[in-house]
Amino acid sequence: MKYIDEFRDSKIAKYLIGEIDKITTRHWVIMELCGGQTHTIVQHGIDQLLPKQIELVHGPGCPVCVTPLDVLDQAIEIAKMPNVIFTSFGDMLRVPGSTSDLLKVKSQGGDVRIVYSPLEAVKIAKENPAKEVVFFAIGFETTAPGNAMAVLHAQKEGLKNFSELVSHVMVPPAMEAILSSPSNRIDGFLAAGHVCTVMGYWEYEPIAEKYKVPIVPTGFEPVDMLEGIYLVIKQLEEENYHVVNQYKRSITREGNIHAQKSISEVYEVIDKNWRGIGEIPMSGMKIREKYKTFDAAQKFNVGSIKTDESSICISGEILQGLKKPNECPAFGNECTPVHPLGATMVSSEGACAAYHKYQRYHKVGV
């Protein structure tokens, strides 16, 4: 299949591994910024095929995983309300809140529905005028345009019973937070191809220059990943730090201008708390005042939210690339996909879920 088979070609993969080996002279730490990329790396054993000097670590590239616990608890409380139809993408239903999750609310009689598009939630609102329909709008810049369009469509339809509980986060501020941390050990980044398809990569250029790190927007297939790693290592070895676009079949420097306009029309940038990481300045979005009637956080009063994270879950350190999932003492024991302690184990894009699915119980060389 065009654009699939050639990016899974074992001969090309072996060639790229050889080229990476030729140019690597020292230890380098590279972080990928997408959960889909994490799963590709772990599924195909890419990190185990590379020269030992290259270490791949997993960043905060799973939007489900970094959705703040207080927002999730707020979602659970709203979903319990008798007049509410709470809609969400399916990967949020089993993410643990402080004491419950959305799937448990559904099992206890709450009207919680999985949708595959925010416009599906708008349609449900139109078909159920006596109910309040809430859509859980989470994600990076990738999902923000569609969620913004849902608000604009609801306004056009004159719907008063549709709202969004928004928890959007943005990648560049998270990269800066990691790079400016005293514990930072990242030498280069593989940027998320789908985010860059929307936003372009111009935002990464000043980060690469300021922190002297190569940034390579990369696709999701094995050959994509290996070529992206090669492009990062080549820059590091040459002490040349800029943005190189590996994912040219999808990404332009400017990105999708129309999508960016819809985001800025509906949402404004705010400081945002990231689950397991903490507050990152100007890294999130909220609904603008002009669309406040579609803001579920303002529409529903759920009282004071007191969050309670697991004391043994190290997902925060995993999301910052400080530790690997199989370094957590709870991994595969107290924490499994059936009984997750943190979002990184239950999300389909979570690093812990990838390690568990592909049986990475032991560290390389152990």
Q: pLDDT, tens digit, for every residue of 218-262?
A: 999 999 999 999 999 999 999 999 999 999 999 999 999 999 999
Is residue 227 domain-resident? yes
User: Do 291 and 319 lie in a common domain?
Assistant: no
Which residues lie below 8 Å from residue 239, measured CB to CB, with a gap of 6+? Answer: none
d(CA 269, CA 245): 26
The token pair that represents 3 in the structure block: 């654009």
Is residue 183 domain-resident? yes
Which residues lie below 8 Å from residue 203, measured CB to CB, with a gap of 6+? Answer: 172
The token pair that represents 93 in the structure block: 């239903």
| Residues 9-33, mean pLDDT to the nearest whole number | 97
State the angle between helix axes of 118-127 and 144-156 in degrees (0 to 180), rounded to the nearest 10. 20
Is residue 364 domain-resident? no
User: Do 123 and 232 lie in a common domain?
Assistant: yes
Is residue 363 domain-resident? no
Per-residue pLDDT at 365 exceeds 60: no
User: Do 290 and 340 lie in a common domain?
Assistant: no
Is residue 188 domain-resident? yes
User: Do 288 and 342 lie in a common domain?
Assistant: no
User: Do 233 and 348 lie in a common domain?
Assistant: no
| Residues 195-219, mean pLDDT to the nearest whole number | 97
User: Do 122 and 71 lie in a common domain?
Assistant: yes
Give the residue among 120, 115, 77, 72 at the shortest CA–CA distance from 94: 72
User: Do 268 and 322 lie in a common domain?
Assistant: no
Name which of 174-178, 221-225, 274-278, 281-285 the model is least confident about.
274-278
Q: What is the pLDDT of residue 111?
A: 98
User: Do 9 and 89 lie in a common domain?
Assistant: yes
Which residues lie below 8 Å from residue 236, measured CB to CB, with a gap of 6+? Answer: 28, 187, 188, 214
Is residue 286 domain-resident? yes
Domain with 271, as residue range(s), is: 1-308
pLDDT band (50, 70, 90) for residue 363 = low
What total of structural domains would you count in the chain?
Answer: 2
pLDDT band (50, 70, 90) for residue 33 = very high
Q: pLDDT, tens digit, for every residue of 110-166?
A: 999 999 999 999 999 999 999 999 999 999 999 999 999 999 999 999 999 999 999
Q: What is the pLDDT of residue 350?
A: 92
Is residue 365 domain-resident? no
Say what the pTM is: 0.93
Helix (H, G, I), strand (E, B) or coil at 57: strand
User: Do 258 and 120 lie in a common domain?
Assistant: yes
User: Do 176 and 248 lie in a common domain?
Assistant: yes
User: Do 181 and 218 lie in a common domain?
Assistant: yes
User: Do 101 and 121 lie in a common domain?
Assistant: yes
CATH number at residue 207: 3.40.50.11740
Is residue 362 domain-resident? no
Q: pLDDT, tens digit, for every residue of 53-106?
A: 999 999 998 888 999 899 999 999 999 999 999 999 998 999 988 889 999 999
